[in-house]
Chain A
Amino acid sequence: MRIFVCLGNVPDTTTKAKFTENNSVFDTTGVQWIINPWDELALTRAIELKEDANSSVEKVTVITVGTKSAEPTIRKALAIGADDAIRIDAEPNDAYAVAAQLADVLKDEDFGFVMCGIESCDYNGSAVGGMLSEFLDLPSVSAVAGVEVEGEKVSVSRTIDGGKEIINIDTPFIAIVHKGISIEPRIPAMRGIMMARKKPLNVVEASETELLTDHKSFELPQPKPPCKMIDPENVKELFDLLQNEAKIM
């Protein structure tokens, strides 16, 4: 079976948030772009499944909606071990539009399941995976913390409050993954980097879609008042502040 992994191309998690044009546009000057951390963990799990002799996973394809500027990130995914990639050529501005564009390509593909990260670390929409499922009219499981494939059979583990559930599900479906799907993201090896250059990266035209949301303006958090430092010899003061000033205890 083939697995698709949706990739987001996002600013490195240590990037300072800065905005231009009257705080209406994210300032990308000097930004390092990375694979969205959840998607990177999903990709890692997909590759592990491909390597696992007990699973029928044979091919891992990464798919992204992005402009040419996303290609270094896609190449990195290929270097980590994806077999091929699809880039849908559009600016990813709105979750609904991105999901519609992904669905438009994926509806004609044959796959066991599609993995999406629970959230992108830029606009924090937590939306694309679920939207994609509904566009494709396929079952979805969210908060997926593990995927197992035995031959053609797939089961997932879903996080619930206070524990987890194991769910059996027929393919094809969409897995929206979060913590636990794999522990450490895989790092590309030299050989992988060499091979990635020759792997197919297919660029397809994006379908016309509507945008339902508009990020009109951005704000930075108010600077916090400086931390009140408490004398380590007088821990009682901390308790008093919490009780009388913060009114917590």
Chain B
Amino acid sequence: MTVLVFTENWDGKFKKLSFELVSYAREVAEKLNVSVVALSIGEVDEDELKKLGDYGADKIVSITNDHLKTLDNQVYTKVISEVTQKENAKVLILSHNNTGKAIAPRLSVKLKAALGSGLIRLPSEVDPFTVYKKVFTGKAFANVILNSDIKILTLSQNSFKLISSDNKATIEEYSTDIQASDIKTKVTSTDKQTGKLLLTDAEIVVSGGRGMKSSDNWGPIEELAKLLGAATACSRPVSDEGWRPHEEHTGQTGKIIAPNLYIAVGISGAIQHLAGISSSKYIVAINIDPDAPIFEAADYGIVGDAHKILPELISIVKENLS
């Protein structure tokens, strides 16, 4: 029996997210007393694959197949379920990111395996198998029992620590018989920025709301973000107005993030906004209105005009961090 963890790669490289998943899989495997198999799909070189061992994989199954270069949910489901069966996996772990959300539910039906999605902790018990997840978009948590032989878990990003291990993982190539004709979703064009820090990966996020008044006032938000190595974000009205790109919108209907630090500037703290950011470890609020609800969610707050506070904060950071 094993725990199988699907580790996605980005142009041949793993990310912190991949190692979080393997660390999590390791701890789940300890509870069940079984080994960890990591599955990688795509061209990843040996040195990179071996890193999965550093976080607790015992064995790495690597699949390279030209037809798996873009994500076709049906085909990925077929391949991952083959490996699940081959490795006799009883628990299958994926990220709760776009890829995981696309394939975990399909795998659940294919393998008749209960799905626990968006988990933020280790299972509290393995018999009955009980997982812990956010519900009502962060307003509550649920203990959910998974009643099936195989279980599928998707882990929320940034919700589990990295645990290093001195495992020396073995690498095994696996080939599938996927043909071009199996791919029903044909990617005809791709438009992608590379090298940009993704909001979902960022440890620090500086975010602006309607209180910034206009897109012309974003200079200080961007400058602060740059100094802190942070990503920029915004509230929904800001992206609706076109002041900022849509991919920056956080909240119930935008991105759900869990950085170490979220700095909310000129954001009132509507419940739908908090839904996207409440898992941040620390929240700083800068708002002119002392009664703004954001202060109920924040750890540190300053009541004041963003146009005055931000430049001060920037110069303090410059003085102290360089």
B98 touches A127 (CB 8 A): no
Q: Which of B72, B103, B191, B261 contacts A164 (CB 8 A)?
A: B191
Contact with A along B247-291 (1 / 0, CB 8 A): 101001110000011000000000110010010011011000000
Q: Tell me which of A57-65, A73-81, A191-199, A213-221 binds B.
A: A213-221
Tell me which residues across on chain A come within 8 A of B134, comparing CB atoms.
Answer: 124
State the Cβ distance, B275 to closest chain A Cβ, in Å.
8
- B-side interface mostly: mixed
CA distance A236 to B314 in the complex (A): 10
Tell me which residues across on chain B come within 8 A of A249, comparing CB atoms.
Answer: 228, 317, 320-321
Query: Which residues of A from 165 to 181 have beta carbons under 8 Å from B?
Result: 165-170, 173, 176, 179-180
Report if B77 contacts A (CB, 8 A). Answer: yes
Given known contacts A212-B148, A239-B317, A248-B204, A163 and B299 CB-to-CB distance under 8 angstroms: no
Contact with A along B282-322 (1 / 0, CB 8 A): 10110000000001111111111000110011001100110
B193 touches A96 (CB 8 A): no
CA distance A211 to B74 in the complex (A): 23
CA distance A132 to B61 in the complex (A): 29
Binding site for B on A (CB under 8 A): 11, 13-17, 19, 37-38, 41, 95-96, 99, 118-119, 121-131, 133-135, 138-143, 155, 159-170, 173, 176, 179-180, 183-184, 211-221, 224-225, 227-232, 235-236, 238-239, 241-243, 246, 248-249
Most buried by A among B70, B136, B191, B275: B136
Report if B141 contacts A (CB, 8 A). Answer: yes
B303 touches A235 (CB 8 A): no
Given known contacts A166-B188, A183-B240, A212 and B146 CB-to-CB distance under 8 angstroms: yes
State the Cβ distance, B200 to closest chain A Cβ, in Å.
8
CA distance A218 to B196 in the complex (A): 38
B297 touches A162 (CB 8 A): no
CA distance A131 to B240 in the complex (A): 31
Contact with A along B124-146 (1 / 0, CB 8 A): 00000010011111111111111
B116 touches A213 (CB 8 A): yes
CA distance A14 to B253 in the complex (A): 13
B106 touches A143 (CB 8 A): no
Most buried by A among B96, B186, B194, B321: B186
Nearest CB in chain A to that of B308: its residue: A232
Nearest CB in chain B to that of A236: its residue: B316
Tell me which residues across on chain A come within 8 A of B116, comparing CB atoms.
Answer: 213
Name 12 extra pairs, CB < 8 A, besides A15-B136, A218-B135, A221-B141: A96-B109, A130-B103, A141-B185, A164-B192, A166-B187, A166-B189, A179-B249, A212-B114, A220-B141, A221-B140, A239-B320, A246-B261
Report if B1 contacts A (CB, 8 A). Answer: no
Count chain B residues whose beta carbon lies closer than 8 angstroms to a beta carbon of A.
94
Tell me which residues across on chain A come within 8 A of B200, comparing CB atoms.
Answer: 161
CA distance A108 to B173 in the complex (A): 41
Query: Which residues of B from 13 to 71 have beta carbons under 8 Å from A?
Result: 70
CA distance A96 to B170 in the complex (A): 35
B145 touches A214 (CB 8 A): yes
Q: Which of A155, A219, A238, A239 contacts B141 (CB 8 A)?
A: A219
State the Cβ distance, B191 to closest chain A Cβ, in Å.
5
Given known contacts A124-B133, A216-B143, A227-B295, A140 and B106 CB-to-CB distance under 8 angstroms: yes
Q: Which of B240, B252, B281 contacts A13 (CB 8 A)?
A: B252
CA distance A118 to B98 in the complex (A): 10
Tell me which residues across on chain A come within 8 A of B313, comparing CB atoms.
Answer: 235, 238-239
Q: Which of B103, B140, B144, B285 contacts A19 (CB 8 A)?
A: B140
Q: Which 8 A-B pairs have the closest CB atoms?
A: A130-B105, A163-B192, A142-B102, A232-B304, A134-B109, A212-B114, A139-B184, A17-B140
A160 touches B192 (CB 8 A): yes
14 pairs of residues in contact across A and B, judged by CB atoms under 8 Å: A14-B272, A16-B139, A127-B105, A134-B77, A143-B101, A159-B247, A163-B192, A166-B189, A213-B115, A214-B145, A218-B142, A227-B296, A229-B301, A236-B316
A218 touches B282 (CB 8 A): no
Binding site for A on B (CB under 8 A): 10, 70, 72-74, 77, 96, 98, 101-110, 112-118, 130, 133-148, 154, 184-194, 196, 198, 200, 204, 228, 240, 246-247, 249, 252-254, 260-261, 271-272, 275, 278, 281-282, 284-285, 295-304, 308-309, 312-313, 316-317, 320-321
State the Cβ distance, B189 to closest chain A Cβ, in Å.
5
Tell me which residues across on chain B come within 8 A of A232, comparing CB atoms.
Answer: 302-304, 308-309
State the Cβ distance, B99 to closest chain A Cβ, in Å.
8
CA distance A13 to B136 in the complex (A): 8
CA distance A155 to B188 in the complex (A): 9
A161 touches B316 (CB 8 A): no
CA distance A126 to B300 in the complex (A): 33
A242 touches B304 (CB 8 A): no
B106 touches A235 (CB 8 A): no
Tell me which residues across on chain A come within 8 A of B139, comparing CB atoms.
Answer: 16-17, 220-221
Given known contacts A139-B185, A162-B194, A179-B246, A128 and B105 CB-to-CB distance under 8 angstroms: yes
